Amino acid sequence: MPTILVEVMPKPEILDPQGKAIANALPHLGFTGFSGVRQGKRFELTVEGEVTEEILDSARTAAAEMLSNPVIEDVVSVTVAEDL
Amino acid sequence: MSTFNIDTVENASTTPDTELPWAELGLKQDEYSRIVEILGRRPTAAELAMYSVMWSEHCSYKSSKVHLRQFGEKVTEEMTKDLMVGIGENAGVTDLGDGWAVTFKIESHNHPSYVEPYQGAATGIGGIVRDIISMGARPVAVMDPLRFGDIDHPDTQRVLPGVVSGIGGYGNSLGLPNIGGEVVFDSVYQQNPLVNALAVGVLKHEDLRLARADGVGNKVVLFGARTGGDGIGGASVLASESFDDTKPSKRPAVQVGDPFAEKVLIECCLELFGSELVEGIQDLGAAGISCATSELASNGEGGMHVELTNVLLRDPTLTPGEILMSESQERMMAVVTPQNAEAFEAVMSKWDVEYSWLGEVTGTGRLIIEWDGETIVDVDPRTVAHDGPVYERPYHRPAWQDDLQADSFRASEEGQHLPSTAEELGGAVVELMSSPNMADKSWITDQYDRFVGGNTALSAPDDSGVIRVDEETGLGVGLATDCNARYAYLDPYAGAQLALAEAYRNVATAGAVPMAVSDCLNFGSPEDPEIMWQFAEAIRGLADGCQTLGIPVTGGNVSLYNQTAGRAIHPTPVVGVLGRFDDVARRTPSGFQRWADGQAIYLLGTTRDELDGSEFARLRGHLGGHPPQVDLAAEKTLGEILINASRDGMIDAAHDLSEGGLVAGLAEMSLRFGVGSRISVDALCERDGVDVFTALFSESQARALVALPRSEELRFTDMTTARGFPALRLGVVDAVSGGIEVAGDFDGGSFGIGLDELKEAWSATIPARFGAGSAGGETPLGSRPADAGHHA
């Protein structure tokens, strides 16, 4: 069943406290060599049947208006994955 | 670093004709001309950034300064005897006795909370808490006076849940109890919600710290979070100093907070204070480094030398102007002697807080900021921090004010056919108590941690929040914030005094002796002479009121331009009053106790026909006439009675009467612990010459209800008689009936309301609109916290 993937990230200039916390934790746990971490989120929207341009548009709108907070987040991508 | 075309002071002197985007940064032509005059040349881009933010209304108080002076002028010796730090510092400090002091302040975070409700409200808490830390105090509690549009408006549906969870999310994470505040719904706040935040902190006298950069040669350090591009807003126009096309074209005007970073900052600062490692300290809020450097320098020796490339950045593409203006959260600036530098660094490393040494204090009287060794700012810091423009804005009484005041509720169409039978009166009580403004707010306050820390003696919905300061002696403080903006709209002078009177009364009702005032003055545009009149009148009223009551304004905040499309909010001067308890164990709770069956209920004060601007008039959709009469002498006497009764253990419950009048007060006292009551208003109607409806719903001031054991009645009434204050026995606490019963001279003779029925109506209103869940309920569109972490 096809799935639409939506990826959302905090805007680059906005503080990402989760990413910061992970970045601080990495070296403590022995993972070195990473100078920064930013954490976003991925949504998987499952579609019954074919992904039409209409459904994709609807996903884009949902991504921009509901899945992300446009004030502090960016929708990075809206893509179709056939097999998950 | 080399991607910027750095505008140095030298460059500014040789290129006087370069056009700068001063208008886009919000400066007026004459303001810009004054900057050029002060400097004797055009400002550099970095200087322009500093002046533009520091001379903004928010930072310079340019429209309000001439009026705010009254808070410093209308003072008596009595008012200042306990005042350790007054207006002008980060927060006022009041002596509490036993070597303790208390500091508190209210601020607004209105606009950011409208744009991004969760983060706006969260960073509002963060900002006010840092003000408290920078006085050398440990923050001990917060409160939030909130105002939203009509409860059913989509705007309120979007803003309220985000604001409430933002306040809870940040405050709860900090481990600070949220002990009270207000929630008011009125369509005037649509698109202009008010999110005010109060914080209170305590300190020992010797820990007091001020924002001063003293001691030539002392080092200046920036610590806490890194500086990023958040909250820069207008600074984006300074992108003209950048060659880099790849950087974000628009910097966001909102900030994201990190409460856990702030918690570490609190503990880290308290260790610095305890070890006496800092000479002066300033939090970074609005205007960021611009504000901190210019204020520290001008309050101290007058000079400071800073290398801006030393600032630790989260975003390396920031220009110098943007770094100076950034409002990244959770940052502090301190002045440290060279001898203490090593010990300071040890404290930073213990708490894992990042820091960078920026420069040092100088005796030159100039604030010099360099970028990689080149001077980009060379100013007299006083011209930035203190000598901003001051406007005597024109103001006049609105032409419509007379018509508004002439439109009394009694004479209006809405004021006809008032409830007069048992059935109508009983129905009106249920309607009133389930209306949005009178309804149970626990859906909101349950999202706040009210008891963390174990020092909360009272919290919402009691009259005041009460916090124990000293665990040995029980020394503590009571706090209340209030404002009925409908009153202030009808008469700004009286309305501001009524806000003061109510907060004063609430503090005294809990048993605390009122000591100090902090205010958050929320108004529309000062460029409108009618709004400016409201503002001037409210300040005059507040200053006069404080003088009469003998308690000083110790600090506060002004929020102007709360209007959209020419429609301003009602004038909303929120007043916070702080009072002192010798022992918080003596506090008076607001509800009837179950074990208090048969206790006498007394009404203190006089009831007049005062329904204009009342909650009942709001139910009928009417707003006009004159607000209730202000009688500060009566408030003072009432306060003394309530404080003495609390101290001597005469009363077991007390509640002030305000919105909704006597019947609302009685209902709230019964609803608090589900304990019924029976009263008769016959004697009240006869004594005060009012009808039953007026007796129940009038909002006359300087009144309170108390419950006391019969064994204390004589002692109590002797005290009220000795003070010449009206006290009338209305009825008794009835723990058996499970309802409220009111008897009087009306058709039917009495009406009763079951507490179960009343509670159901009262507690359903808010959850019905915002979801039945408590904390962590549905988060509506657009207010989703970015870091909620629900999505694994």
Using the beta-carbon criterion (under 8 Å), do A72 and B352 form an inter-chain contact? no
Nearest residue on chain B to A10, judged by CA atoms?
B786
Q: Residue B229: its pLDDT value, please?
A: 83
Task: Please count the other Cβ atoms lying within 10 Å of the Cβ belonging to residue B249.
Answer: 8
> Tokens representing B529?
């002479």
B-interface mutation test, from A9, A13, A74, most B Cβ less than 10 A away: A13
- B68-72, B242-246, B365-369, B591-595: least confidently modelled range: B242-246
pLDDT-derived band of residue A83, with 50, 70 and 90 as boundaries?
A: low
Q: Alpha-carbon Rg of chain A, whole angstroms?
A: 16
B485 part of a folded domain: no
Average pLDDT, chain B: 90
CB of B301 within 8 Å of a chain A CB? The answer is no
Structural domains of chain A, with CATH: 3-81 (3.30.1280.10)
**How many distinct structural domains can be found in chain B?**
1
Compute the average pLDDT of residues A10-33.
Answer: 90
Residue B598 burial by Cβ neighbours in a 10 Å radius (0-12, 13-18, 19+): exposed
Nearest residue on chain A to B117, judged by CA atoms?
A71
Nearest residue on chain B to A15, judged by CA atoms?
B256
Using the beta-carbon criterion (under 8 Å), do B315 and A12 form an inter-chain contact? yes
Q: Residue B233: its pLDDT value, please?
A: 56
**How far is Cα of residue B622 from the mean position of the Cα atoms in its chain?**
28
Q: Residue B637: its pLDDT value, please?
A: 97
With contact defined as beta carbons under 8 Å apart, do B433 and B762 qualify?
A: yes
| Nearest Cα residue to B218 out of B28, B359, B365, B325 | B359
Nearest residue on chain A to B260, judged by CA atoms?
A17
Q: Residue B240: its pLDDT value, please?
A: 35
B296 part of a folded domain: yes
Nearest residue on chain A to B251, judged by CA atoms?
A13
Helix axes B288-299, B45-54, angle to 10 degrees: 80
| Nearest Cα residue to B294 out of B368, B358, B224, B363 | B368
Using the beta-carbon criterion (under 8 Å), do A17 and B781 form an inter-chain contact? no
Residue, of B417 and B209, whose pLDDT is higher: B417
pLDDT-derived band of residue B12, with 50, 70 and 90 as boundaries?
A: confident
> Tokens representing B105?
């302040």
Compute the average pLDDT of residues B684-700.
Answer: 96
Cα separation, B387 vs B398, in Å, equals 32
What is the residue range of B226's domain? 207-385
B574 part of a folded domain: no
Shortest distance, CA A14 to any CA of chain B (angstroms): 6
B270 part of a folded domain: yes
3-state class (DSSP) for residue B34: helix
End-to-end CA distance of chain A: 8
Shortest distance, CA B782 to any CA of chain A (angstroms): 5
Is the bond preceding residue B461 a cis peptide, omega within 30 degrees?
yes
Statement: residue B14 has pLDDT above 80: yes
B284 part of a folded domain: yes
Q: Residue B512: its pLDDT value, please?
A: 96
CB of B780 within 8 Å of a chain A CB? The answer is no
Q: Residue B781: its pLDDT value, please?
A: 38
Nearest residue on chain B to A41, judged by CA atoms?
B791
Q: Residue B388: its pLDDT value, please?
A: 86
Q: Residue B252: its pLDDT value, please?
A: 57
Statement: residue B1 has pLDDT above 60: no
Statement: residue B245 has pLDDT above 60: no
Task: Please count the other Cβ atoms lying within 10 Å of the Cβ belonging to residue B92.
Answer: 25
Cα separation, B652 vs B669, in Å, equals 11
β B367-371/B138-148 pair status: unpaired
Q: Alpha-carbon Rg of chain B, whole angstroms?
A: 27
| Nearest Cα residue to B55 out of B364, B348, B425, B383 | B383
> Tokens representing B503?
């907060």
Compute the average pLDDT of residues B726-730.
Answer: 97
pLDDT-derived band of residue B300, with 50, 70 and 90 as boundaries?
A: confident
Compute the average pLDDT of residues B584-606.
Answer: 95
HSE-up (13 A, CA, CB side) for residue B371: 24
pLDDT-derived band of residue B234, with 50, 70 and 90 as boundaries?
A: very low
Shortest distance, CA A58 to any CA of chain B (angstroms): 16
Which chain B residues have a beta carbon less than 8 Å from that of A17?
A: 256-258, 260-261, 787
Task: Please count the other Cβ atoms lying within 10 Å of the Cβ belonging to residue B31.
Answer: 17
Using the beta-carbon criterion (under 8 Å), do A13 and B261 form an inter-chain contact? no
CB of B322 within 8 Å of a chain A CB? The answer is no
Residue, of B109 and B231, whose pLDDT is higher: B109
B714 part of a folded domain: no
Statement: residue B694 has pLDDT above 90: yes
> Tokens representing B451?
């008891």
Statement: residue A75 has pLDDT above 50: yes
Q: Residue A53: its pLDDT value, please?
A: 92
Instruction: Say which amino acid occupies B454.
Output: G
Using the beta-carbon criterion (under 8 Å), do B252 and A71 form an inter-chain contact? yes
What positions of B carry a catalytic annotation?
58, 109
- B381-390, B468-477, B720-729: least confidently modelled range: B381-390
Which chain A residues have a beta carbon less than 8 Å from that of B789?
A: 18
Angle A64-A65-A66 from CA coordinates, rounded to 5°: 110
Which chain A residues have a beta carbon less than 8 Å from that of B251?
A: 13
> Tokens representing B352?
């894992």
pLDDT-derived band of residue B695, with 50, 70 and 90 as boundaries?
A: very high
> Tokens representing B698?
């009038």
Q: Residue B235: its pLDDT value, please?
A: 43
3-state class (DSSP) for residue B625: coil
Shortest distance, CA A9 to any CA of chain B (angstroms): 9
pLDDT-derived band of residue B187, with 50, 70 and 90 as boundaries?
A: very high
Q: What percent of chain B has pLDDT over 70?
A: 94
Size of interface A-B (CB pairs under 8 A): 70
Using the beta-carbon criterion (under 8 Å), do B255 and A15 form an inter-chain contact? yes
CB of B315 within 8 Å of a chain A CB? The answer is yes
Statement: residue B249 has pLDDT above 70: no
Statement: residue B212 has pLDDT above 80: no
Using the beta-carbon criterion (under 8 Å), do A69 and B786 form an inter-chain contact? yes
Cα separation, B766 vs B68, in Å, equals 37
B18 part of a folded domain: no
CB of B242 within 8 Å of a chain A CB? The answer is no
- B50-64, B75-89, B750-764: least confidently modelled range: B75-89
DSSP E strand stretches across B571-702: 572-581, 600-604, 653-656, 676-680
Using the beta-carbon criterion (under 8 Å), do B116 and A72 form an inter-chain contact? yes
Nearest to A13 among B251, B352, B783 (CB): B251
Which chain B residues have a beta carbon less than 8 Å from that of A63?
A: none
Please state, in angstroms and as integers, the Cα–Cα distance from residue B729 to each residue in B2, B289, B705, B706, following that order.
Answer: 80, 60, 10, 10
B318 part of a folded domain: yes
Shortest distance, CA B225 to any CA of chain A (angstroms): 10
Nearest to A65 among B260, B781, B789 (CB): B781
Reduced 3-state DSSP string for chain A: CCEEEEEEEECCCCCCHHHHHHHHHHHHCCCCCCCCCCCCEEEEEECCCCCCHHHHHHHHHHHHHHHCCCCCEEEEEEEEECCC
Q: A interface toward B at CB cutoff 8 Å?
A: 10-18, 20-21, 24, 41-43, 65-66, 69-73
* B19 Cβ contact list (under 8 Å, min separation 6): none
**How far is Cα of residue A37 from the mean position of the Cα atoms in its chain?**
14
CATH number assigned to the domain comprising residue B297: 3.90.650.10
Shortest distance, CA B251 to any CA of chain A (angstroms): 7
In eight-state DSSP terms, residue B191 is T
Instruction: Say which amino acid occupies B651.
Output: I
